[in-house]
Amino acid sequence: MTTPDSTVPHPDPTPETLTALLERVAREDAPALRALYEITSTKLFGLALRILIKREWAEEVLQDSFINIWRFADDYRPALAAPMTWMAAIVRNRALDHLRRVRSVETEWSEALDDLLPAPGPGPAELTLMSQHARQLAVCMERLDANQRQAVALAYLRDQSHSEVADSLKVPLGTVKSWIRRGLEKLKACLGAQ
């Protein structure tokens, strides 16, 4: 994939368009991935660049993010997040992972770079990306039990498999599956009530 050209404006795609493209990507439709890249890469590259500062790092993270979008498109659930929010979360996580790798390799880490790391809560750019539906999801996520919320977040926002979630939380796989299933049921009921 090429570096996004920020000089060529792309009209903002609708969530429905992005969802349809993600559904096609989930079926391993390469032209759909190309179309998704063409209409979202400029914004996603901008997000990566804001976090990483260095253009070459942002390019690498963007490419890695689209590989993950390709791999995990079948995990995307429109009921849990707007498509752009889901893709932005992947880019943000990959960018922060990249910073952690760089931090562990470099012996001198500038405190100025620490200041560039986003706060734990959503920043202005992320709030802009969040649709009303995503804000409702955030409210519903807060209503889940802590274990369910953490398991659902790891599975759907960090792109982890059930086994990886079980390893991360140090609990049996069956417990994780139960937490995720119950959490998703509660989220569905909560979102349906709003």
Same domain, 91 and 179: no
Q: State whether 121 and 189 are in the same domain.
A: no
Whether residue 4 is contained in a domain is answered as no
Residue 17 contacts residue 65 (beta carbons within 8 Å): no
Q: Are residues 74 and 44 in the same domain?
A: yes
Query: What pLDDT, on the 0 to 100 scale, is given for residue 46?
Result: 92
User: Shortest CA distance to 83 belongs to which of 15, 180, 20?
Assistant: 15
Same domain as 45, residue 68:
yes
Tell me, what's the pLDDT at 18? 94
In the DSSP assignment, the letter for residue 107 is S
- Alpha carbon distance 87, 47 (integer Å): 11
* Domain assignment present for 20: yes
Give the number of other CB atoms < 10 A from CB of residue 36.
Answer: 25
Last residue of a domain, one of 69, 103, 127: 127
pLDDT confidence band for 132 (50 / 70 / 90): low
Is residue 2 assigned to a domain?
no
* Per-residue confidence band for 109, with pLDDT thresholds at 50, 70 and 90: very low
* Alpha-carbon span 45 to 194, nearest angstrom: 33
Please compute the mean of the pLDDT values over residues 17-37 and round it to a whole number.
95
178 class by beta-carbon count within 10 Å (0-12 exposed, 13-18 middle, 19+ buried): middle
Residue 5 lies inside a defined structural domain of this protein: no
CA distance 90 to 156: 10
Which structural domain, as residue segments, surrounds residue 28? 10-127
Structure tokens at 42: 């400029």
Helix, strand and coil percent figures for the chain, each rounded to 5: 75, 0, 25
- Over residues 145-167, the pLDDT tens digits come to 888 888 888 887 777 888 888 88
The pTM (predicted TM-score) of the whole model is 0.52
∠39-126-8 over CA atoms, to 5°? 25
3-state secondary structure of 145: coil
Give domain status of residue 3, yes or no: no
- The mean of the pLDDT values for the chain is 81
Q: Are residues 25 and 119 in the same domain?
A: yes
Same domain, 111 and 175: no
Query: pLDDT-based confidence at 48, cuts 50/70/90?
Result: very high
Kindly provide the residue ranges of all beta strands, DSSP E only, lying in the chain, ordered along the sequence.
none
72 vs 122: CA distance, rounded Å: 23
Domains of the chain: total: 2
My answer on whether 110 and 146 are in the same domain is: no
Is the same domain home to 85 and 32? yes
Does residue 49 have a pLDDT over 70? yes
Evaluate whether residue 1 is within a structural domain.
Answer: no
Contact 86, 68 (CB under 8 A): no
CATH code, domain carrying 123: 1.10.1740.10
Q: What is the CA radius of gyration of the chain?
A: 17
